[in-house]
Amino acid sequence: MALSRDAYKALQAVVGSKYVSEDPGTLAGYHYSWGGPNGRWQPFVPLAVVLPEDTSQVQGVVRVCNRYKLRFKAHSTGFCSLAFPGVEDTIMVDLRRMNRIVEIDEKNMFAVIEPYAIAAQIQAEAMKRGLDCHIVSAGPTHSPLASATSVWGIGSKGLSQSWNERNLFGVEWVLPTGEVARLGSPGVGAGWFSGDGPGPGLRGIVRGTNGAYGGNGIFTRIGLKLYPWVGDERMECTGSQPQIGLKIPERMHFSLPYWKNWEDMTAAAYKIVDNNVAFSVLRVPPDCMNWMLTSTNDEYQEAFHKGSVPIDREEHLHAWQAIIAGHSEREFEYRKKVFEQIVKDTGGKFLQLTVEQNEILFAANVRISYIPRVFRPTGDFSTSFGMEESINLMGKLHRTGENLLGKYIGPGKLPDHGREGFWAWLNEGRSLHSENAFAVTEEPGVQAANMAYVMESCRVTNSEALGVQILPGYMGIFADSLGPANFNANEWMRKVKYEVVDPDNVADHFTYIFPEPVVLMPTE
C-alpha cells in the first residue's frame, strides 16, 4: 500500500515537511541491516520515515498512525534488523533528532536522556563528574534509552554497573494509542529518580529480560542510573587506529588471570565477589581477544597459523579479564592485594601482556568496544545460550554450548571459528551472564544452520536446566516457542500488548508478540 496523500500531509503537519520522507533512496537505509533471517535486505520497506524533535511530535505521529490505520516502528541507534519494520504499512519513527542529555544529576548519580543520546556521549559527560554509564555489548554508539527500555541492555561492566533493565528510573512513554504516560516520580512532577510506583511498578510492562523492540510504543525520555567512576575525567587514548587503547589510570589495574579448568575459575569468581575487590570481570573467547590484539583479519590469520597469537585457545581458555579499581589509594592497594591472593589460592596465573595489549583490552572493557571485532571475521554473528543465573553454572554452560555448537559447524553449515564463543561476566556479584556467540554469513545454508542451532540451544537450555533465556530471547517469532516452558510468559506478553498498551496493534508487533501464536519449534 502507498501512503495516502492525506496521511503524508498529516505527518508533515506534525513534524514539518523537511522531516518526512518517502524517497526510495532514503527508505533503503531503513530496511538494510545485518541480523535478519533472510539476508541484509529486510522484507518490508517503510512507507515513510519521520524525524520528530520532541515528545509532542512523537505523540502527533502516533496519532496520525492511529487515524490512518498505519503502523509505526520506533528507531533510535538501531543495532540490527530488529530495529527495522517487520510488517507492512509502517511509518518509521527515527528518533535521531531527540539526542539530548537533558540533565546529569551528579549527586544522585543519574542522567535524564532522550532516545538518541548515545552511550559514548553520556559516558564522556559522566566521567567529567566522576561517573560512568553502563554500556551494553552493542558498544558505545548505542542508545542507552533503547537498551534500558526496549532491547536487552546487558554489558560486561555488570559487576559494578548492573544492567540497563535495572538502571531504568523515570520513564516517559508515548503509548501506541497516542497517550503519554510518565511512570514513577516524573509522573507526579517529582523528578526522574524513580520509575517504580506509585504502587505497582509499571516498569514491569515496559520490558522484561528483553524489551518489546518498539512493539509497545515509543519511549521518549528516561532517567538512567549512573555509577561511580574512579578513573580520569578525560581518558587518554594510546596507540593508533585501529589499535586504540586507553592509558590505565592511577588506582585502576587491568589483568588477565587464567586457570586450568572451569571449576577453579568459578571458585575464583565466588571469592572475587565475596571480597568485593573487582570493578569488572569478563570472560572473552580467546579468539576474540586475539581479534582485538591484531589490526586486521590477515594479521590475525597469519599469527594464528604461525602459532604466535598472544592468547592461546587451550591454555588460556579459562581466563577472566579483570579491572581492579579503588576510590582511595588504600582501597586500591587492598583490593589488588586480595585479588592477587585469590588468583594464587585458586591455582591461577597471570598472563603477561605488553603495555599496548593491556591498554587495548582495558579500553575494550571500559568503552565496551569489542563489537566491531566480533563482526570482523565474517561481517555477521549470532548468539545463543544467553543465560543469567548462578555463577556455579559456568562450566556446565560452556561445555553444553561448545558440544552443541560443534554439531552445527562444517561445510554448508556454520563457519569454523572454533567451537566456542563463550562470553561471560559477573553481574552485581549475584549472577553470571553468559552467551555463546558465533560467526555466521549471509549464505542460506549458514542461516538455516544458525536458526536450527539457536532453536536447539533453546531446547537444550531447558532440558539441561540452565536457567532463563535472555539471548536470543523472546523476539516475536521466538516468543511462542519459548514461553510455554516459562509459565506461558508469551501469553502474558500477548495480554500486555493487546489488552493493556496496544489494542489496535498500531506499534509493529513483529519483534514483540504476534496477535496469534506462532510456534516455530517447541522448546519444552
Residues numbered 127-156 forming contacts with another protein, rule: CB under 8 A? 130
Q: Is 82 in the site for another protein (CB under 8 A)?
A: no
- Contact of 415 with 405, CB cutoff 8 Å: no
Question: Which residues are CB-neighbours of 438 under 8 A, at least 6 positions away?
Answer: 381, 382, 383, 384, 405, 414, 417, 421
Report the alpha-carbon distance of residue 18 to residue 445 in Å, rounded. 43
30-38, 346-354, 410-418, 480-488 -> range binding another protein (CB under 8 A): 480-488
- Site size toward another protein (CB under 8 A) is 99
Q: Is 415 in the site for another protein (CB under 8 A)?
A: no
Q: Is the Cβ of residue 64 or residue 109 nearer to another protein in the bound state?
A: 109
Report the alpha-carbon distance of residue 74 to residue 70 in Å, rounded. 13
75-83, 139-147, 403-411, 485-493 -> range binding another protein (CB under 8 A): 485-493
Q: Is 56 in the site for another protein (CB under 8 A)?
A: no
Q: Return the residue of 233, 274, 302, 504 that touches another protein, per CB under 8 A.
A: 274
Q: Is 234 in the site for another protein (CB under 8 A)?
A: no
Question: Which residues are CB-neighbours of 481 under 8 A, at least 6 positions away?
Answer: 455, 458, 519, 520, 521, 522, 523
77-85, 347-355, 426-434, 440-448 -> range binding another protein (CB under 8 A): 426-434
Task: Report in angstroms the alpha-carbon separations of 422 from 96, 329, 414.
Answer: 33, 34, 16
Least distance (Å) from another protein to the CB of residue 153?
A: 9
Q: Return the residue of 9, 392, 410, 515 that touches another protein, per CB under 8 A.
A: 392
Q: Is 517 in the site for another protein (CB under 8 A)?
A: no
Contact map string, positions 320 to 359, toward another protein, x by CB under 8 A: -------xx-xx-xx--xx--xx-----------------
Which helix (H) or strand (E) segment holds residue 436: the answer is strand 431-439
| Dihedral sign for Cα atoms in the order 413, 414, 418, 424 | negative
Q: Is the Cβ of residue 190 or residue 355 nearer to another protein in the bound state?
A: 190
Q: Which of residues 235-254 bind another protein (CB under 8 A)?
A: none
Report the alpha-carbon distance of residue 378 to residue 185 in Å, rounded. 46
Task: Report in angstroms the alpha-carbon separations of 134 from 106, 164, 226.
Answer: 15, 7, 7
Name which of 473, 391, 472 is nearest 438 in CA terms: 472
Least distance (Å) from another protein to the CB of residue 501?
A: 7
Q: Is 411 in the site for another protein (CB under 8 A)?
A: no
List b or e across 71-110, with b for residues whose CB sees 16 or more CB atoms inside 10 angstroms: bbbbbbbbbebbbbbbbebbbbbbbbbbbebeebbeeebb
Which helix (H) or strand (E) segment holds residue 265: the answer is helix 262-274
- Contact of 359 with 367, CB cutoff 8 Å: no
Strands 71-75 and 20-21: unpaired
Name which of 127, 152, 157, 206 is nearest 386 in CA terms: 152
Q: Which of residues 199-218 bind another protein (CB under 8 A)?
A: 199-205, 207-212
CA 196: distance to chain centroid?
23
7-15, 68-76, 161-169, 352-360 -> range binding another protein (CB under 8 A): 161-169
Q: Is 279 in the site for another protein (CB under 8 A)?
A: no
Q: Which of residues 488-507 bind another protein (CB under 8 A)?
A: 488-490, 492-493, 495-496, 499-501
Question: Which residues are CB-neighbours of 46 under 8 A, at least 6 positions away?
Answer: 27, 30, 31, 73, 84, 85, 90, 91, 92
Q: Is 514 in the site for another protein (CB under 8 A)?
A: no
CA dihedral 282, 286, 292, 297 (to 10 degrees): -150
Q: Is the Cβ of residue 97 or residue 166 nearer to another protein in the bound state?
A: 166
Q: Which of residues 170-199 bind another protein (CB under 8 A)?
A: 175, 179-185, 187-191, 193-199
Q: Return the residue of 42, 55, 156, 162 that touches another protein, per CB under 8 A.
A: 162
Q: Is 385 in the site for another protein (CB under 8 A)?
A: no
Q: Is the Cβ of residue 212 or residue 288 nearer to another protein in the bound state?
A: 212
Q: Is 39 in the site for another protein (CB under 8 A)?
A: no
Q: Is 38 in the site for another protein (CB under 8 A)?
A: no
DSSP secondary structure, 22-58, as one string: --HHHHHTTSB-SS-TT-SB-S---SEEE---SHHHH
DSSP secondary structure, 447-512, as one string: HHHHHHHHHHHHHHHHHTT---EEES-S-GGGHHHHGGGGTTHHHHHHHIIIIII-TT--B--TTS
Q: Please, where are the H alpha helices in 88-137?
A: 119-127
Least distance (Å) from another protein to the CB of residue 502?
A: 11
Q: Is 261 in the site for another protein (CB under 8 A)?
A: no
Q: Return the residue of 430, 444, 445, 515 that touches another protein, per CB under 8 A.
A: 430
Q: Is 373 in the site for another protein (CB under 8 A)?
A: no
Least distance (Å) from another protein to the CB of residue 4?
A: 29
- Contact of 428 with 391, CB cutoff 8 Å: no
Q: Return the residue of 44, 79, 169, 385 that touches another protein, per CB under 8 A.
A: 169
Least distance (Å) from another protein to the CB of residue 13?
A: 23
Q: Is 510 in the site for another protein (CB under 8 A)?
A: no
Q: Is 470 in the site for another protein (CB under 8 A)?
A: yes
159-167, 361-369, 409-417, 442-450 -> range binding another protein (CB under 8 A): 159-167
Name which of 55, 58, 64, 50 is nearest 92 in CA terms: 50
Q: Is 17 in the site for another protein (CB under 8 A)?
A: no
Place of cell 503502523: 71
Q: Is the Cβ of residue 271 or residue 367 nearer to another protein in the bound state?
A: 271
Q: Is the Cβ of residue 171 or residue 292 nearer to another protein in the bound state?
A: 171
Q: Is the Cβ of residue 32 or residue 350 nearer to another protein in the bound state?
A: 350
